[in-house]
Amino acid sequence: MITSSQYQAQLNLAKAAAKTAGEIILSYHSTSVGRANNSAKVNVKSGVDLVTEADTRVETMVIDMIKKAFPNDLIVGEEDQAESPKGEPGEDFPSGSIWCVGAFQQ
């Protein structure tokens, strides 16, 4: 049986990552004088699927936090899928904890 304290460290990390992600995203929004604090570069991922500099920066930060705290966990990223399992025939299904990182909306 899973207890609430069994995943407390993961929950604490997720909360800290969400807070930091919010701070990063807010840094890309307009100030009261109507100018952005940072220039936000936008890339086209495919078709009309856009990815902003803030998206990439936030995902990198979250993945780095997870890797530092839980180096053996699998991380599946929305923007950077380099370490994501490909689901190829014969590929073993990942065991252990899996983090899905993505969908940071601005």
**CB-CB contact of 65 with 71 (8 Å):** no
Angle (nearest 5°) at CA 22 between 17 and 28 = 130
Sign, Cα dihedral of 6, 8, 9, 11? positive
pTM of the complete model: 0.71
Mean pLDDT for the chain overall: 77
Between residues 77 and 87, which one has the greater pLDDT? 77
Banded pLDDT at 70 (limits 50, 70, 90): very high
pLDDT the model gives residue 93: 73
